[in-house]
Structures are given as C-alpha cells and as structure tokens.
Amino acid sequence: MNFERLYTLQKLLDDRIVKEHKLEDVSLFENKLLALKVEVGELANETRCFKYWSKKAPSPKETILEEYVDGIHFILSLGLELGVTNFVDLPEKVAESEVQAFHEVYRAIDRLQKPEAYHELMKSYLTLGQTIGLQYEEINEAYLKKNKVNHNRQDQGY
C-alpha cells in the first residue's frame, strides 16, 4: 500500500470538506472517532461474523471491501489530525477470529488520543482486513476508487 499517497489524497478531501462546509474553526476529532465506530459496525454487519444465530452468508466481497475502505478514510483522517502522514508497519498476521479482530479495532479506537495509539489503531485495522480476507493491493485500489466517489459527492452537494 502506498500510504504516503493515501494520506495526501485524504488531506485533499478533508481540506475540501472543511472549506466547503465552513468548518475551519470546528474540532472534528470526536466526530471522526464516532464516524469510524459507525463504519466499523457497518463492516461487521456486512461480514456477519458475529451473527451466530443466522445462516445467511456474508455480503459479497466487493461490498465488504467498500465498507472496509470507508473505515480507512476515517483512520487516515484521524492520523492527519494527529500529525501522522505515513505508515510503514504492515502487519503480516491474522487475528484468531474475525470477532476478536473487530473487538481489537474498537479497543484501539477508544485508546486513540496520541500518535503512538494511532499506529496501533492502523495496525489493528489492517489486521482486521487480512483476517476478513482482504489483500493490501485491493484495499489500496478500493480506497482510490472511493476517494473519487467522495469527491463526486462533494461536487453534488452531498
């Protein structure tokens, strides 16, 4: 994954949203934390990994990937708020279960206040991605695609 490029693209999107919505004097950190929690919940819903009572299959991989990169957008944005502009510590493991991976992401979100905690959040989210079967290259490509969608939404007054 080309994180330097992803942070650059995220900064352009964030700056555009702040300017167009006149939010220059508003702290958005807590809003982004909540938005990330919501996105992680939407991702869990699509994987259905916690729904032990249901026989319904997970959503198609494309849907799961799109939900996953929504979370990447907010994680990158939170990193920028903390002064982080690159990430190089790609995890090469999977969690013992998808449910455990989701719990670790939520715990990492709750600890997020400093750059050190940010790196743990990014690592836990990337581990989640691997655990649910996503590859770094497809995450990177899906982020680029969704970033364009997000700019188009701003063009349309979303």
* pLDDT, averaged across the chain: 93
Which tens digits make up the pLDDT trace of 92-128?
Answer: 788 899 999 999 999 999 999 877 899 999 999 999 9
Distance of alpha carbon 118 from the chain centroid: 12
Distances from the Cα of 51 to the Cαs of 83, 99, 128, 131, in angstroms? 37, 10, 17, 17
Mean pLDDT of 130-147: 94
The position carrying tokens 């969704």 is 146
Residue 89 has pLDDT above 90, yes or no: no
What the chain holds in terms of domains, given with CATH numbers, is: 3-155 (1.10.4010.10)
Confirm if 115 and 89 have CB atoms less than 8 A apart.
no
The position carrying tokens 């990193």 is 79
Please give the share of the chain, as a percent, with pLDDT higher than 70.
100
What's the chain look like in SS3? CCHHHHHHHHHHHHHHHHHHCCCCCCCCHHHHHHHHHHHHHHHHHHHCCCCCCCCCCCCCHHHHHHHHHHHHHHHHHHHHHCCCCCCCCCCCCCCCCHHHHHHHHHHHHHHCCCHHHHHHHHHHHHHHHHHCCCCHHHHHHHHHHHHHHHHHHHHCCC
pTM beyond 0.75: the answer is yes
